[in-house]
Each structure stands twice: as C-alpha cells, then as structure tokens.
Amino acid sequence: MRTLLYIIPFPLSCLNSHGQIPRTDSLTKQLNNNEIKPDGNFFGPTFYLSNGPGTELLKTGRSVSESLLAVLNDSARGGVAHYILTSLWKDSIPWVSPVYIEREDILIFTLNELVFFMKSGNVFANRSDLELKALKWKIFLGNKNNP
C-alpha cells in the first residue's frame, strides 16, 4: 500500500509539467504588443500589461523565457515579449523614459534599452531594434543557464 502511495503522485506531477509547455506556447502565440498600456502619475508615465496572455505568462514565471525568446523578432509580439522578460529578469519597476510628441500624438518610450512607439493604443518597435534585443536576451539567458 505504501508503494502505491509513492507511485501515484509521481505520474500526476509529470502530467502537470508536460501540460505547462503547450499552454505556454499557446499563450505566447496569442501575445500582442497592444497589451502594453500607459499608466501615469506625478512621477511620470509608467506602463503595465492589460489582462491577457502576457499577464498569464508573467504570472507563470521565468520558465516561460524560452518561449518568449522565440517571438522576440516578431514585430507584433516582440515588444510585449521584451516587456515580460524585463519584468521577470530585471528590477521589479522597469526603467521607462517617455517622450511625448504632441504634434503627431505619438508617445515614445524606452524600456530596458528598447524603444517603443505608441499611437492610438497601438504599440510598435523597430524590427532591427527587436533583433538586437533578441540577441542580447539570448546571451543574457544563456549566461543565467550556464553560470
């Protein structure tokens, strides 16, 4: 009877860990840069993630890093992937340097050395900037995995 009690929890724990990978991949495919929203106070503008796949990935923790690396070059998802990685691996309050251009109604901000553009709720980042940050993240995470 004791042997049975030890055998049952092991397969159940394996099912949970294998189920996490497809869920993470599914959430990563649903990411969208527009999940990044502005939020300001008297210290200046800050940003947060609206409820959605990005928030779920953030709650999951650092184990989602590899899935996020796969979409860093994607101009529609790379910005939010960078935001999540920064939140997971850097200080809890990301460094954001906003500049508002009233004439064109564009908000330009920097988060962990990546420049974002926000216009009418849509968030953009340059593909070449995303590719450079993807390379830096791969090096950073490679060093974390192989100390």
**What is the model's pLDDT at position 78?**
94
**What is the model's pLDDT at position 61?**
93
Q: How many domains does the chain have?
A: 1
Q: Which residues contact 105 (CB under 8 A, 6 or more apart)?
A: 119, 120
What is the residue range of 109's domain? 2-145
In this prediction, the residues of the chain whose per-residue pLDDT falls under 70 are 1-21, 40-45, 91-103, 146-147
- State the alpha helices, DSSP H only, in the chain: 2-7, 9-30, 53-60, 65-69, 78-89, 127-145
Q: How many CB atoms lie within 10 A of CB 86?
A: 19
CA distances for 118 relative to 5, 58, 114, 137, 138, angstroms: 55, 22, 13, 23, 26
**What is the model's pLDDT at position 81?**
95
